[in-house]
A and B are shown apart, each in its own frame.
Chain A
Amino acid sequence: MRTALHAEWTKLRTSPGSWWLLVGVAAATIALSALAAVAVSCRAGCTADLPKVSLTGVQLGQAVVAILAALVIGNEYTTGMMRVSLAAVPGRTRLLAAKALVLLATTSVAAVAGVAGSVLAGRALLPAHAFVWRPVVGSVLYLELVALLGLGLAAAVRSPAGAAGIVLALLYAWPIVARAVTDKAWSRRLDQLGPGTAGTAVQATKDLASLPIGPWAGLGVLGLWALGALVLGWLLLVRRDA
């Protein structure tokens, strides 16, 4: 396992795009958070959930995480590298686990940087508000789970573009469709089930009772999605020819 981990780390470290993507995760997160903080220029009596607003950038950062995750495994299929990798590490479960761990570690660094930068930007640009740990820690975990979701889906569909499309459909199109559903009960149910809509509940600090799902339960839903995607990817990886 150590050699597999080392191999994956070397691949990620030496492929030219990955550093830019990791910087991109942090930069995109901070940039959108700062823009949202500027846009919400509320004065006295602000009713906005300020800790949540200061973490809006996660919505953009997750797209870059999805690219990174899709490339970690999907790119090997597009170049035929997968066959070499499997020749070197014949244990397919081990290969996927190594990829997941390396991806998780690197994403965490970028996510911590992006979320910390967002919090600082929020402190500077938004009216004074209390600091709450849960949304901050939750946002880092959110980005990590999105990475695992992307990895699992990319292992399943074997096309990085297709995997990114599916992840972004789940994260971006799902909430829009859920909003448009006229039946209130169904709309709420969709919000509870969607990986993005439930997962971002972890950022909320106000009106927790009126949320469709509790903060940690919401993150748990995203966790189940990530787990499901990984299991699907693993099953297909183990069963199929590369």
Chain B
Amino acid sequence: MTFARVLHAEWTKLRTVRGWVLGLLAGAAVILALGLTPSRGGSCDVSDCTPAHGPEGQAVADQFTYVHRTLTGDGSITARVADLTGRLPAFDGAQTRDGLAPWAKAGLMIKDGTKAGSAYAAVMLTGEHGVRLQWNYVHDEGVDAGAKVKPQPVWLRLTRAGDTVTAEKSADGTAWVAVGSARLPGLPATVTAGMFATSPQYSEQVNESVVLSGVSGAPSTATGTFEHPVTTGTFSADWEGPPGGAAPEPAGTGAPDGARARSEGPQTGAAPTADGWTVTGSGDIAPAVSGAAGGSVTISQTLVGTFLGLMFVVVVGAVFVAGEYRRGLIRTSLAAAPRRLHLLTAKALVLGGAVFGLGLAAAAVVVAFGPRVLRGNGAAVAYASAATQVRVVAGTALLLALCAALAAGFGALLRKGVTAVTVSIVVIVLPYLLSVTVLPLRASDWLLRVTPAAAFALQQSEPRWDQVDNIYSPADGYFPLPAWGGLAVLAVWVAVVLGGAGYRLRRRDA
């Protein structure tokens, strides 16, 4: 019997057993039901639910203190950042203490107006990451973000020429070194240029405790002391900034949820000095993140039904193979298709293919319509690019298909449906459950690298940002491995289990 005939035979088996077909359809149905159910509403009003969006589409934080002039046409701004200091929250109930958040920022900026979410490029001195060029919220250039650098006084210069903004730094104000250059497509002729300071939500892991109960976040502030600001080009006459000393609404106010929910913000503002300005800010100008600081629902969360759908798929997968042993059908199957590996491969392919198709359809519908249901219900949904959506949908289908193949492999290896089902679910779902409930971060990161649960990384929709400190934990939807890495781990499991099953099938009597 050719392989094509074996495939056809297995397909006929799968499609004609009513329980199996119903099981697979039920798996897809729970994914749809949990993804589209309207009961999962949020209770935020419209203004809270629509954070500012950056030029590249994602939700952004855009809150800082800004002393600026308007610049028409090309031009440049130069200033010396003489000092960068800050205040950090104290977590033992006391007042704030001196200290700098690693991503406290003070420097020069060129921005399209002062509207939240508008295009910008900025060169800045940071708390621990040296001098950096950042633009349009998501881009970040400078020394390796992992390295820790103490802030040193530095001269900074930002030059605009058309769509391009170039950043330079200098230790003495005469010898200049390039930091980088940014292209801001569609930057209008008239922009603002000036000095800014800000400091993000600060959190620290008090200890490596269970769950994240030991973690809290609170606002921090940064104060930049600017000296000798010099502009070249067509600038407006006066520096505009927030009134000094008070706690004004800073330039951009796009910070979503958390930052604004606290009614008493830290003291921010700007004040002129003999030869420059001191600017104190709090907030961040960066991508908005989920997790410790976030508040919106991601498309991954709409796919939570995957965990339940998985159960159905695993049961059908295990029984699809183990069931043959139950009734002795395996002897008939092997009489018809004596090449044992052909039979096993055909089963895995047919099952995987069917599950992939159903999973793809269910996930596509959920990702396409789930966010609409949520928004209609008053919940904020995090931005995900089209490429991310396609990856999450295809990834969910692949995840389900490979898990079905894994269960089939365990079914062939263990020859008992109940054991195969339990082993499959324990290796796929339990590591994830433990990671999001009891285990500390380090242990769960390890668990999600080596078990099949690593493949849930395929559903991660929010990237980790090097330039945003956040507790990137599995509980908040961040996985230790990239999507393809997680897929590879699951694929290796499937290959090993199917390989072992094939070996046993060939060596043992059926």
Contacts and interface: CB of A to CB of B under 8 A. Distances in A.
B436 interface: yes
B442 interface: yes
Given A74-B418, A176-B433, A168 B425 contact: yes
Given A177-B308, A182-B379, A160 B418 contact: yes
A183 B39 contact: yes
Contact of A48 (B210, B307, B429): B210
B128 to A, nearest CB: 25
B213 A47 contact: yes
A159 B322 CA distance: 12
Interface string B268-288: 000000000000000000000
B420 interface: yes
Nearest to B420: A161
A66 B422 contact: yes
B119 interface: no
B194 to A, nearest CB: 39
A121 interface: no
Interface stretch (B7-15, B61-69, B309-317, B394-402): B309-317
Interface of B is mostly: helix
A177 B307 contact: yes
Interface string B187-225: 000000000000000000011111001100000000000
Given A168-B426, A177-B34, 18 more contacts: A39-B439, A39-B443, A47-B207, A56-B438, A78-B326, A159-B417, A161-B315, A164-B422, A168-B421, A168-B429, A172-B307, A173-B307, A173-B429, A177-B308, A182-B42, A183-B41, A183-B43, A186-B39
B261 to A, nearest CB: 15
B442 A165 contact: no
A17 B418 CA distance: 12
Interface in B293-316: 297, 301, 304-305, 307-308, 310-312, 314-315
Given A39-B442, A161-B315, A60 B430 contact: yes
B207 A161 contact: no
A43 interface: yes
Interface in A83-124: none
Interface in A1-54: 17, 36, 39-43, 45-49, 52-53
Contacts of A186: 39-40
Nearest 3 CB-CB pairs, A to B? A161-B417, A39-B443, A165-B315
A183 B208 contact: no
Given A42-B208, A53-B210, A59-B430, A176 B304 contact: yes
B434 A164 contact: no
Contacts of A74: 418
B40 A169 contact: no
**On chain A, which size bracket covers the interface?**
35 or more
A52 B438 CA distance: 9
A48 B214 CA distance: 9
Nearest to A38: B443
A140 interface: no
Contacts of B304: 176-177, 180
Output the residue of B39, B312, B430 with the most chain A CB within 10 A.
Answer: B430
A180 B447 CA distance: 20
A180 B34 CA distance: 10
Interface in B397-442: 416-422, 425-426, 429-430, 432-434, 436-440, 442
Given A42-B209, A161-B315, A175-B437, A169 B308 contact: yes
Nearest to A180: B304
A176 B432 contact: yes
B88 interface: no
Contact of A56 (B19, B311, B434): B434
Output the residue of A39, A48, A74, A79 with the most chain B CB within 10 A.
Answer: A39
Contacts of B158: none
A41 B374 CA distance: 40
A182 B432 contact: no
Contact of B422 (A49, A67, A175): A67
Given A40-B210, A165-B312, A63 B40 contact: no
B205 to A, nearest CB: 11
A161 B421 contact: yes
Contacts of B314: 165
Contact of B42 (A166, A168, A183): A183
A39 B40 contact: no
B32 interface: no
Output the residue of A78, A165, A177 with the most chain B CB within 10 A.
Answer: A165
Nearest to A210: B213
Contacts of B430: 59-60, 63, 172
Contacts of A182: 40-42, 297, 301, 374, 379
Contacts of A70: 418
A59 B431 CA distance: 10
A106 B2 CA distance: 50
17 contacts: A40-B439, A42-B208, A42-B209, A46-B207, A59-B438, A74-B418, A164-B315, A165-B315, A169-B311, A172-B307, A173-B308, A176-B429, A176-B433, A177-B305, A179-B436, A182-B374, A183-B40
Given A60-B426, A165-B314, A168-B422, A48 B209 contact: yes
Contacts of B417: 159-161
A47 B209 contact: yes
A181 interface: yes
A40 B418 contact: no
Contact of A176 (B307, B322, B326, B443): B307
Interface in A179-196: 179-183, 186
Contacts of A60: 426, 430
Contacts of B489: none
B364 interface: no
Nearest to A197: B437
A71 interface: yes
Contacts of B438: 36, 52-53, 56, 59
Contacts of A151: none
Nearest to A48: B210
A230 interface: no
A126 B290 CA distance: 32
Nearest to A28: B426
A146 interface: no
A49 B438 CA distance: 10
Contact of A64 (B43, B297, B422): B422
A148 to B, nearest CB: 17
B418 A163 contact: yes
A205 to B, nearest CB: 12
A161 B323 CA distance: 10
B471 interface: no
Nearest to A45: B207
B471 to A, nearest CB: 15
B418 A63 contact: no
B27 to A, nearest CB: 10
